[in-house]
Structure 1
Amino acid sequence: MKTVSIFLLTTIFFWSCNQQPKTPVAEADSANNVKQDSAANNLTVTVDSMSAAFLVRAADNELREADLATLAEQKATIPTVKSFAKMLAQEHQQLNESVKELAGKKNITIPPMSDDQKTMNKLSTRQGSTFDKDYINEVIDGHKDAVKRFEDAVKYAQDPDIKAFADKTLPHLQEHLDSAKSIKAKYWK
């Protein structure tokens, strides 16, 4: 009996040491998977996994863009970049509130913070026009990904509310992307 107890404690110890900390997005995905599994067992209606995953990624994107824009409001040296960042911060904070509201309505767990702290840390060390250029490049990359993800949600999401949200938001994201590309072309050919 003592040998079995030692074996179990050792197994539990090594298993717990091997667990990697989950990112906010991974935790939200995991929580939603549990909800979907329990909903399937209880035969209750739930949002399809693609729609849930989309909202998790949308929340992460809105948090990321709002955080980066807030940083750019403080650090940007080019007035056009600074005013663009201010507009993005406001719009992405509003979009994040819409995502939160929709997620609450659909009982979808979303991340409380962005997974992309690496980019925030990198940009916070930049200064002057290097910051401005790197920030605009991050906006372009982030919005390219977001536009693709929202286009996919418009096409493939099964939940009509989530599909409508994606369809309504997509033109704004495309406008942000186009504006960032214009700023890049103007200052960094």
Structure 2
Amino acid sequence: MKRLLLALGCVLLAAPALAQSVGEKTGVNSVLGIAPSTTDFIKEAAISDMFELQSSKLAQGKGTAQQKQFAEQMITDHTKTTNDIKSMVSSGKVKAEMPTTLDTSHQSKLDRLKSASGKDFSSDFDSDQVSAHKDAVSLFERYANSGENPALKDWAGKTLPTLRHHLEMAQDLGRRRT
């Protein structure tokens, strides 16, 4: 009986941490406005940056003039945020591991962009940029409001205006094309 109670207690104590990771993966945290754990925030922010950088490099070769200009800005800004995150992790201010590859969702979007051209590329790129920046704004807002690491929380808040501007720019890509 003691073992059963002990096991149940461990599950209950671990449930919030597990739920948060699952919640972040499924989008439940975003819908409910729940801040991601520091580990989840770093993972999601780093993957978002990787996708922005790789998709923007494709746009430099395949995109319209407006998309190429947008891509140049994304490469500059997301290289900076990637370097900021790496610096906080390597300095020990933030305890987390940096992912080195895209998750399957972002990789499939990137693969689709690689095989697309012309209007299909433009449509997919524009749509992906709006979606990615909506997700990033949500992620950064939630962490800036309720994150657990003070230094990272402050950085997320300071980065938000740039991400909101990126979202406006991404939304403008589609408007100008149609």
Fold in common (TM above 0.5)? yes
Give me the identity figure in percent: 26
1:85 to 71, 95, 114: 71
Task: Count residues with an aligned counterpart.
Answer: 141
User: What root-mean-square deviation, in Å, do the aligned CA atoms of Structure 1 and Structure 2 show?
Assistant: 1.7
Match of 2:101 among 81, 96, 113: 113
Aligned-partner Cα distance in 2 for 1:107–1:151: 20
* Runs of 4+ with >3 A deviation: none
Aligned to 1:65: 52
Matched letter for residue 98 of structure 1: D
CA drift at 1:107: 3.3
Q: Which amino acid aligns with 1:69?
A: S
Unpaired runs of 5+ residues, structure 1, are 1-28, 30-48
TM-superposed CA distance for 1:63, in Å, is 0.9
1:138, distance to aligned residue in structure 2 (A): 0.2
Counterpart for residue 134 of structure 1: 124
TM-score, normalised to structure 1, is 0.70
| Cα separation, 2, equivalents of 1:158 and 1:120 | 31
User: Within 2, Cα distance between the matches of 1:63 and 1:151?
Assistant: 20
2:76, 2:43 → 1: CA distance? 20
Listed one character per residue, the Cα deviations across residues 25-70 of structure 1 (whole Å, up to 9, x for unaligned) are xxxx8xxxxxxxxxxxxxxxxxxx8122111111111111111111
Q: Measure, in 2, the Cα distance between the counterparts of 1:183 and 1:61.
A: 19
8 Å CA contact retained: 2:38, 2:96: no
- Partner-residue secondary structure (3-state), 2:98: coil
Separation in structure 2 between the aligned mates of residue 66 and residue 79 of structure 1, nearest angstrom: 17
* 1:113 Cα deviation after fit: 2.0
